[in-house]
Structure 1
Amino acid sequence: MDMKAFVIPQRAMGYGLVLFAAILWGVSGATAQYLFASARFSPEWLVVIRLLISGILLLTFLTMTHKEVPIWAIWKDRRDRMRLILFGLAGLLGVQYTYFAAIDASNAATATVLQYVAPTLVVLFLAVRGKKWPGIRELVAVALSFVGTLLLVTSGNLDQLSISQAALFWGISSAVALAFYTIQPSSLLSRWGSPLIIGWGMVIGGIGFSFIHAPWDVEGRITAPTLLAVVFIILFGTLIAFTCYLESLKYIRPAETSILASAEPLTAAVLSVIWLHVPFGLVEWIATCCILGTVFILSIEKKRWG
């Protein structure tokens, strides 16, 4: 029997890895909503414990499997050290806390979809920094993102919000934090690689947030199901998901990973509706499609737009 017939093509491997990561992130968001709503866990405790344990595990994994990666070397360069601390506190911690706070104030579906406004914010920031008017595809993406956000937060009734002001604030803050997370560490990533930067970023964010909420100060009902949910968020929703996503970049282009990662909000939305019985009507689904459409548009080659 020819064993070569069972070898998975590289592109298929890349697609599978990023889809698996996106689904895990979506499930993680819905699981966090379950912990907040049913077991009264606080976003603060879940964020600090997730960052600390995931960061330590990721750095340990790097030390054991990539002995050529000097995990402490980054601290010798003052400029990289300061950038890394900023990324850990404002980037990773910012993304994690605002996202979980948005889930706590609304639901996983709404929080995740609002977070996907981030690519549009990145486009606008780069246009302002480069002092260059956005092109056609960027303008279409901005328009779609605006319409989708408006529909999502009003359910089509423009006279009032359909979500709380806290949910809107944390949802948009999550998008801003994700945009910063995307732009700020570019020089660090090119020099040190994603796993090392993310691992240290998690540890730094977790240590920094420990001064606000101690990891041993557990809030919520500890039972077998809730403990399993926390373990799932740490291992599968963080460590394994990030590893799969980064591994997928070896096989497919970043633009393709961006499109396939859109499975995250779709997974969060479907699970919120089926598992957690969150009301998500036609208008909300249209809004989701609008916002996710921006990811597809921004991933298309510029030459196709003329």
Structure 2
Amino acid sequence: MNRQLQVHGALFLVALIYGANYSIAKEIMPRYILPFGLIVIRVVSAVLVFGSLSLFVVKEKVQSKKDWLRLILCGLFGITINQLSFFSGLNLTSPINASLIQTVSPVVVVLLSAFLLKERIQVFRMVGILLAGLGALLLISGKAGNAQGHLLGDLLILVNAASFGAFLVLVKPLMQRYNPITVVSRIFLVGSVGVIPFGLGQVIQPAYGSFPAAIWGAIAFVVIGMTIVAYLLNVWAMKYASPALVGVYIYLQPAFAILIAVGLGKDVFTFQKALYASMIFGGVYLVSKPKKVAV
């Protein structure tokens, strides 16, 4: 098969997995497993899988204390804060609200890059930041006319988007120096230290023997599909795909989330949500637009 077709197929599947996760995870929470318990199951599973790959396949060591410090920060923002805010937020808000608010991560990346790396923010990017921020604010404050959208849940998803944006800025130098499996195995290990104290009580509480097969399937999807398969596909595809192509498929995630949530009857897509979504997407597009190179 042509390499470009493989890349498109991998990115398409990743977008579909993430889009489906918003509705599938809500089947599990909170009736069967509370949010923090589900996080522990996911993160511990990732530690075992990626840790085994790092130990027996990649066999690469972290070279300096400075890199370990950065890994700890990545584990804090990329796993601990990211996962705790995402699953607790998704438990409270609707799948569509969550998927739309989470797309503001590129805005956070630009703001943090300007602050940490002293990169100048161009005018069109500033307009994009304001537009995306206003769209997210309207979606959160008004809940887009949908009673299912919970203010606290929306705010937690916004925290999730901000922490993931911080993670992307922090992890970039590590990805340039180490194998991705080396980085992600350490990040999940550090992150597990942060989430286990919050979720240990919730993970031992459920009566797992009473779970129907459909719920076990949903748990398997979150652990295997979203955590392991999606990450490995994403890492592989990003070796060959341009940032612009990856960005296009990121925008597909809320589209899949909307189609799946509406198809399963888990949420409704109103005109107001469409308007706020167009503001967020438009703002993110302006923020992600490449800088013009002087000739």
Aligned to 1:59: 51
String of CA shifts for 1:118-172, please: whole Å, max 9, x gaps. Answer: 2112212222345565213312321320232133221568xxx984331232022
Aligned to 2:229: 240
Unaligned 5+ residue runs, structure 2? none
- Tell me, in whole angstroms, the C-alpha distance in 1 between the residues paired with 2:157 and 2:111: 18
Give the partner amino acid of 2:240.
Y
Q: Is this contact kept in 2: 1:26–1:268, CA < 8 A?
A: yes
Q: Is this contact kept in 1: 2:105–2:165, CA < 8 A?
A: yes
Among residues 14, 19, 34, which one is paired with 2:12 in the alignment?
A: 19
Q: 1:255 to 1:218 in 2, by over 3 A?
A: farther
Aligned to 1:170: 156
Aligned to 2:246: 257
Among residues 188, 213, 218, which one is paired with 1:229 in the alignment?
A: 218
- Tell me, in whole angstroms, the C-alpha distance in 2 between the residues paired with 1:133 and 1:90: 24
Give the partner amino acid of 1:111.
A
Q: Is this contact kept in 1: 2:128–2:282, CA < 8 A?
A: yes
- Tell me, in whole angstroms, the C-alpha distance in 2 between the residues paired with 1:141 and 1:133: 14
* Larger deviation, residues 92-101 vs 55-64: 55-64
Among residues 24, 28, 31, which one is paired with 1:31 in the alignment?
A: 24
String of CA shifts for 1:87-141, please: whole Å, max 9, x gaps. Answer: 2133222212211111111022211211211211221222234556521331232
Deviation at 1:31, TM superposition (A): 0.8
Q: 1:139 to 1:44 in 2, by over 3 A?
A: same
The reply on whether 1:191 has 2:184 as its aligned counterpart is no
Aligned to 1:121: 108
Q: 1:123 to 1:212 in 2, by over 3 A?
A: same
String of CA shifts for 1:213-250, please: whole Å, max 9, x gaps. Answer: 22751447622111111011100111000111111112
Report the TM-score when normalising by structure 2.
0.88
Aligned to 1:207: 193
Give the partner amino acid of 2:244.
A
The reply on whether 1:45 has 2:31 as its aligned counterpart is no
Give the partner amino acid of 2:86.
Y
- Tell me, in whole angstroms, the C-alpha distance in 2 between the residues paired with 1:150 and 1:211: 32
Q: Is this contact kept in 1: 2:19–2:256, CA < 8 A?
A: yes
Aligned to 1:81: 68
Q: Is this contact kept in 2: 1:151–1:287, CA < 8 A?
A: yes
Q: Which has the higher helix share?
A: 2
Deviation at 1:62, TM superposition (A): 4.5
Give the partner amino acid of 1:49.
I
Unaligned 5+ residue runs, structure 1? 1-6
Q: 1:304 to 1:247 in 2, by over 3 A?
A: same
Q: 1:103 to 1:197 in 2, by over 3 A?
A: same
Deviation at 1:61, TM superposition (A): 3.4
Q: 1:250 to 1:132 in 2, by over 3 A?
A: closer
Give the partner amino acid of 2:6.
M
- Tell me, in whole angstroms, the C-alpha distance in 2 between the residues paired with 1:139 and 1:180: 18
Aligned to 1:105: 92
Q: Is this contact kept in 2: 1:91–1:181, CA < 8 A?
A: yes
Give the partner amino acid of 1:196.
T
Q: 1:129 to 1:216 in 2, by over 3 A?
A: closer
Give the partner amino acid of 1:42.
L
The reply on whether 1:284 has 2:273 as its aligned counterpart is yes
Q: 1:136 to 1:304 in 2, by over 3 A?
A: farther
* Larger deviation, residues 12-21 vs 128-137: 128-137
Across the aligned residues of Structure 1 and Structure 2, the Cα RMSD in angstroms comes to 2.7
Q: How many residues matched?
A: 291
Q: Is this contact kept in 2: 1:34–1:276, CA < 8 A?
A: no
The reply on whether 1:179 has 2:168 as its aligned counterpart is no
Q: Is this contact kept in 2: 1:102–1:167, CA < 8 A?
A: yes
Q: Is this contact kept in 2: 1:49–1:206, CA < 8 A?
A: no
- Tell me, in whole angstroms, the C-alpha distance in 2 between the residues paired with 1:299 and 1:15: 20
